[in-house]
Homo-oligomer: A and B are copies of this chain.
């Protein structure tokens, strides 16, 4: 199968919202009047972002999910995406699974595949996603103010727990690994929550490289510091019961590492003034996404970790760096 047949068979579908989709030199899209276009690119590389033997359907899902998560963090509504794909060879079973996972998530979010590129080379998936946001209403990293509450959506750390097990660093019962692995391989982009937080959150970003590292980007961009209650964040791992059971194979240190610096969570971290707690609760409810208040923005720079008694605990949790 040649390049053009491959595109036609797996990646060409009629577009509804875009003016022009796959098959010309460019795709044509137009945000509605009064809207800005939010744009984000993510590149996924074998061995760095996924294992060579990962289920291609899950990989298709994840490749788009990590991009939709960036739109969610800006409060943007998904519109369209381009896919550039480097493949070692044409493997039709792989392509069928990959495109199925990719396009199922795209359909669920009304996000159209409008163009891209395919070539031969080491496996590499680069998606650029486009969303709409009313001009001036995008959620940014720079709006956190001293006194704001700090929130995180959903659960934290289960993706890292699965990764540690798949890397052979820890042993997990099969059913625990199976659940945690879903979080690693099929993350849920928090698009509905991001949209509901427009006009409510003072800042937001998605948690992709670990909570503390990602939060530090908000703090730096906003010129503020923060205090995080680690007794609340450790509660956010879904497999916590297992971790503290008699047969638990991982300790408190690993629990902190997973929840504070795990990576691959694709939850939203955001801030909002205490006066907006009802609005945050309403956004959580409207989007069907649990959110947990985990700390407070401080005027002094730096990230303080405290325990349930408010005692400062040491921050030894490094964030993920793609060149680390």
Is A24 among interface residues, defined by CB-CB distance under 8 A?
yes
CB <8 Å contact, B3 and A322: yes
Interface centre among A1, A37, A45 (most CB of B within 10 A): A37
Is A73 among interface residues, defined by CB-CB distance under 8 A?
yes
CB <8 Å contact, B27 and A38: yes
Give residues of chain A (90-128) contacting chain B, Cβ–Cβ below 8 Å: 90, 114-122, 124, 126, 128
Segment among A134-142, A242-250, A279-287 that sits at the interface with chain B = A134-142
Segment among A81-89, A150-158, A174-182, A292-300 that sits at the interface with chain B = A81-89
Give the nearest-CB partner of A90 in chain B. B323
State the majority secondary structure of interface residues on A.
Answer: strand
CB <8 Å contact, B138 and A28: yes
A: interface residue count bin: 35 or more
Q: Provided the pairs A3-B323, A6-B323, A121-B122 are in contact, do residues A38 and B43 lie with their beta carbons within 8 angstroms?
A: no
CB <8 Å contact, A323 and B2: yes
Is A308 among interface residues, defined by CB-CB distance under 8 A?
no
CB <8 Å contact, B73 and A26: yes
Q: Provided the pairs A43-B85, A43-B126 are in contact, do residues A321 and B48 lie with their beta carbons within 8 angstroms?
A: no
- Interface residue ranges, A against B (CB under 8 Å): 1-4, 6, 19-20, 23-31, 33, 35-49, 70-71, 73-74, 76, 80, 82-87, 90, 114-122, 124, 126, 128, 130-131, 133, 135, 138, 140-142, 204-206, 221, 321-324
Nearest 3 A/B pairs, CB to CB: A45-B121, A126-B126, A26-B38
Q: List, sorted by A's number, 23 A–B pairs whose CB atoms are closer than 8 Å.
A: A2-B321, A20-B138, A24-B140, A24-B205, A24-B221, A25-B73, A25-B141, A25-B204, A26-B40, A26-B70, A28-B38, A31-B31, A31-B37, A39-B82, A40-B82, A42-B117, A43-B85, A47-B121, A48-B120, A90-B323, A118-B323, A120-B323, A122-B122
Extra contacts besides A4-B321, A87-B323, A124-B126 (5): CB < 8 Å: A2-B324, A28-B36, A45-B121, A120-B322, A121-B122
